[in-house]
Structure 1
Amino acid sequence: MEKIHKPKKVFVQGPISPDFVSKSIASHQSKTNIGAHAIFLGQIRADKKETGVVSGIEYTAYEEMAEQAFHEIREAAFAKFELSCMHIYHSLGIVPTGEISLFVFVSSPHRRAAFEASEYIVEEIKANVPIFGKELVGEGGEFVWKENT
């Protein structure tokens, strides 16, 4: 029988700080059944656009739908890979360039499962979670809907 995990809160306001990431890593030192962690950090790029350079992204979401999609991705990853634990955090609001907007932290007894699960989770988030980004572009600070690539 598969274990069903309770839904976890994913969204945080603004950027995800390096301190938050390091505390998350440190909190796993006592979990001695873990042999590997895979961490994905999505960082905002200063892409060049026709009207200027991206200085940040403002994220919005259909939160209830997005939280349900995150839960479904978590459950699928736990079913597909041998994982000890998993944490997913995504920003809402404005995240300046150079800052982190997505933090996926996967732990497993073995490295292969951690690597594969991390990639699977990030691809599923990009494809299936209703999160929308508007890029803040140029000196006038106009917002332009972000296109996922």
Structure 2
Amino acid sequence: MLLIYDGPIDVPELLARWYGAEHKSNFGAMVNFVGTVREEGGIEALSFDIYRPVLQSWFDAWQKRLEERGALLAMAHSQGDVPVHTSSFACAIFSPKRRVALEMLDAFVEDFKANAPIWKYDVVNGERLYAKSRSTPMRGSGLLAQNTPGGAR
């Protein structure tokens, strides 16, 4: 269950959709996370580019990891502009036991921030500016790599 939205996510509709799809599947827990764009540094929105083939592969690996624990993963992310006070990211983990869902949610969100192929921009005065200071290098990509005496790391 990987969904890509153009613009902000309709969170009430999305959570109801996920709950409706799985509430009879005998999972004991649905744990979710919703990321909301904060008003800070003069931004009026965040804007996102997504490399879908790599995102799908990354998501599929997480889905398999969760299936091994008897759990199911759902995720939604925005592409394009997402105004402040609206949501760009949501995920839910369904699990027979709450502990698995809670533990895996934390691991998933941290890995998402570090490795999902999604690039973030600030929108300030209608201009899209790469948010390098709040971005994380993607493992193996060279994007944001810093030069070190021994070469790129």
| TM > 0.5 | yes
**Deviation, structure 1 residue 104:** 0.7
**Deviation, structure 1 residue 132:** 0.3
Length, aligned pairs only: 133
Determine which structure has greater relative contact order: mean sequence separation of CA pairs < 8 Å that are 6+ residues apart, divided by chain length: 1
1:92-141 CA-partner distances (Å, limit 9, x unpaired): 1111111111111101111110101111111111111110011112xx22
What secondary structure is seen at the aligned counterpart in 2 of 1:10? strand
**Deviation, structure 1 residue 143:** 1.8
Residues 98 and 142 of structure 1, relative CA distance in 2, 3 Å threshold: same
Task: Kindly indicate whether residue 14 of structure 2 is the aligned counterpart of residue 29 of structure 1.
Answer: no
Q: Are the equivalent residues in 2 in contact too, given 1:56–1:135 (CA < 8 A)?
A: yes
Task: Kindly indicate whether residue 65 of structure 2 is the aligned counterpart of residue 76 of structure 1.
Answer: yes
1:22-80 CA-partner distances (Å, limit 9, x unpaired): 2222332222x2111110101111112xxxx111111102221222122122222333x
What secondary structure is seen at the aligned counterpart in 2 of 1:27? helix
1:141 corresponds to which of 126, 145, 152: 126
| Identity across the alignment (%) | 26
Equivalence for 1:67? 56
Q: Are the equivalent residues in 1 in contact too, given 2:66–2:73 (CA < 8 A)?
A: no
Equivalence for 2:150? none
**Deviation, structure 1 residue 148:** 3.1
Cα RMSD over matched residues?
A: 1.7
Residues in 2 aligned to 1:23 and 1:70: alpha-carbon distance in whole angstroms: 19
Question: What code does the residue aligned with 1:143 have?
Answer: R
- Gaps (5+ residues) in structure 2? 137-153
Task: Kindly indicate whether residue 100 of structure 2 is the aligned counterpart of residue 113 of structure 1.
Answer: yes
What secondary structure is seen at the aligned counterpart in 1 of 2:108? helix
Within a 5 Å distance, the mapping from 1:44-59 to structure 2 comes to 44-48=37-41, 53-59=42-48
- So what's the TM-score if we normalise by structure 1? 0.80
**Deviation, structure 1 residue 87:** 0.6
**Deviation, structure 1 residue 20:** 2.0
